[in-house]
Amino acid sequence: AERAENAFDLYYFGQESSINLSLTSFVMLHTLYLIKYHFYLSFYLDLFVSFEYSYVYWYLNEVIFKWLVNTLDRSITLVAAGEKRMLKVRKKSDRKKLSKCKKEIEMKKKTNEKQRFLLFYRAQAKIAEAFFMASYFCAAAVALIASGKIRMPLSDMEQSRFEHRMSPFSSLNSVTFGISLFVEYTQYIHISRIESLRMLGGAKCFSIAADAFDWARGELESLSGNDEIAQEAAAIARICKNNSVVSRIISSGSKNESQIDFVFNNDLSYMYPLLKIT
């Protein structure tokens, strides 16, 4: 986020502007990247048990990906506003000259790149929602719990493991960090409305999950090209296609006695498993 803002400063002023420099955006963006990577490694090392998928995907959607989208959107907005403001004070002849210069082309290229990242993370937020739920929607993990295909632990084991997963982020609260990336178990239960969503039943939850997978797939398939983002988006889109089909089959009630497995692949999309009927 800061790089996009600083690109504007360097472009117009030839040096970093202390007024527009956003250290907060820089710290926020890279903190979110590190947390996302933390969860990627946890999936890769198979550290989660099945009942943890619910709050892990909820946290990724409700906190990490939404803040990634907000941070990138803020950066793009600031750059666009600054460019518009500077164009107003330039003479008409200067504007014509500016429109043809190489630096403006580079600026537009950087902005387009940020917009691709924004769309990419927005789609991933929807996928995380599909794998579990966010706010008023439920998804795959909730459906598996509601249909009895994921066994919940007895006593307070879920709370203990939730607190263990959140402990690395305990210092990232609203007091020390400005916003809270740390979530307590009681907050998760209240904000997610998980108990109410489970009462909807597995069929309804899988139906909503299928819609979310389809939406995310459409967004990801729009990221065409040969760059790394496009390749990863294509791989995740294929997962969404499979999971949408499986979710609709389960929601129809024709496979109520079947087992649903999360099948993780060893690639860049390791955080997003295939749903498989066995």
Say what the pLDDT of residue 13 is: 42
Say what the pLDDT of residue 136 is: 34
Task: Report whether 134 contacts 60 (CB < 8 A).
Answer: no
Phi, psi of 231 (to 5 degrees): -65, -45
Domain housing 124: 1-92+99-277
How much is the pTM?
A: 0.79
**Count of the separate structural domains present in the chain:** 1
**Coil, strand, or helix at residue 219?**
helix
What CA–CA distance (Å, rounded) separates 109 from 116?
11
* Cα–Cα distance list, 228 to 34, 73, 232, 250 (Å): 19, 21, 6, 33
Instruction: Give the distance between the most distant pair of CA atoms in the chain.
Output: 73
Say what the pLDDT of residue 12 is: 43
Listed in order, strand segments (DSSP E) in the chain are: 260-263, 274-277
Say what the pLDDT of residue 193 is: 84
Q: What is the pLDDT along the chain (278 residues), one digit of tens a residue?
A: 444 445 444 444 444 444 444 667 778 888 999 999 999 999 888 888 877 888 999 999 999 999 999 888 887 777 777 666 666 666 555 655 555 566 666 667 777 888 889 999 999 999 998 987 433 333 456 566 655 555 555 556 788 889 999 999 988 887 666 678 999 999 998 988 888 877 877 778 888 889 999 999 999 999 988 888 898 999 999 999 999 998 898 888 777 677 777 888 766 678 998 888 87
Task: Report whether 32 contacts 66 (CB < 8 A).
Answer: no
